């Protein structure tokens, strides 16, 4: 049975911080796990439904708050802010990013980010038809001991990204907001530090047989002092030390 619940404060407290830890460093075990999951998603015809997601945090919610993403047409970006859940009655929010809950029977997922219906686009919300694929994902995560490392995201494209584009995420701790800006892959400086956070998978024809390709669709980009533009504005790093 598939069960879904909203995240609480405790679901973010345990995540590693993007700036304060090495959460963005992928080990050989991490890559092996992602490779197996990518093959599974393609084999299950779910490569256009789910993307794998690096579990990490920039901010922590207060009790009663949830992360809500909205789409901004100009400039092309998404903005994710913390809003009191009580402002969204009934089914007016849909979870779009998840981690797995191993404390419940069956397939338990925790909604970690949400969108209103208008920002969900033509993507259908998580539903009972997804249970079998999600069960396979969590089984493989458990086999690799990676349920605290990776989650999943519904694949959406509200900003109409092309194959040459990806989303680059920054945080503004002053505004308690996350921003994902559309960027051309070719325009990213060679010396820029981009930490991959979201991957989708597709089947392509190799030299002798079809192979599964892993595409990074979102990443965190460093600004002076970390990924937090709030600190960049204030002239301090993540420990409130003056920037050079």
- The closest of 52, 2, 29, 26 to 145, measured between CA atoms, is 29
Indicate if the pLDDT at residue 242 is higher than 90: no
Query: For a pLDDT cut of 90, what percent of the chain falls above it?
Result: 76
Q: How confident is the model at residue 228 (pLDDT cuts 50, 70, 90)?
A: low
* pLDDT computed for residue 231 by the predictor: 39
Q: What is the pLDDT of residues 186-215, one digit of tens each?
A: 998 888 888 999 999 999 877 556 788 898
- The closest of 168, 196, 197 to 182, measured between CA atoms, is 168
Q: What is the pLDDT of residues 124-147, one digit of tens each?
A: 999 999 999 999 999 999 999 999
Q: How confident is the model at residue 222 (pLDDT cuts 50, 70, 90)?
A: low
Query: Which of 119-123, 175-179, 204-208, 231-235 is predicted least confidently?
Result: 231-235
The full DSSP string for 193-234 is -EEEEEEEEEEEE-SSSEEEEEEEEEEEE-BTTBSBHHHHHH
Neighbours of 163 (CB within 10 A): 8
Count how many Cα atoms sit within 13 Å of the Cα of residue 11 in the half-sphere of its side chain: 25
């Amino acid at each position: 049975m598939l069960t879904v619940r909203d995240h609480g404060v405790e679901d973010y407290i345990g995540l590693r911080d993007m700036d304060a830890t090495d959460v963005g460093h992928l080990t050989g075990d991490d890559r092996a796990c992602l490779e197996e999951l990518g093959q599974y998603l393609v084999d299950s015809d779910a490569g256009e439904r789910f993307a794998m997601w690096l579990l990490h945090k920039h901010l922590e919610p207060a009790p009663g708050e949830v992360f809500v993403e909205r789409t901004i047409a100009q400039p092309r970006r998404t903005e994710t802010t913390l809003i009191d859940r009580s402002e969204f009655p009934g089914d007016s929010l849909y979870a779009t990013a998840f981690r797995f809950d191993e404390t419940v029977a069956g397939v338990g997922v925790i909604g970690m980010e949400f969108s209103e219906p208008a920002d969900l686009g033509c993507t259908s919300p998580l539903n009972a038809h997804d249970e079998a694929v999600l069960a396979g994902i969590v089984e493989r995560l458990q086999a690799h001991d990676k349920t605290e490392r990776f989650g999943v995201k519904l694949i959406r494209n509200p900003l109409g990204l092309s194959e040459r584009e990806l989303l680059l995420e920054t945080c503004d701790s002053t505004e308690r907001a996350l921003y994902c800006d559309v960027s051309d892959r070719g325009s990213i400086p060679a010396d820029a530090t981009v930490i991959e956070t979201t991957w989708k998978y597709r089947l392509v024809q190799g030299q002798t047989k079809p192979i599964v390709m892993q595409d990074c669709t979102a990443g965190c980009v460093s600004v002076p002092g970390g990924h937090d533009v709030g600190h960049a504005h204030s002239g301090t790093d993540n420990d409130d030390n003056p920037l050079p």
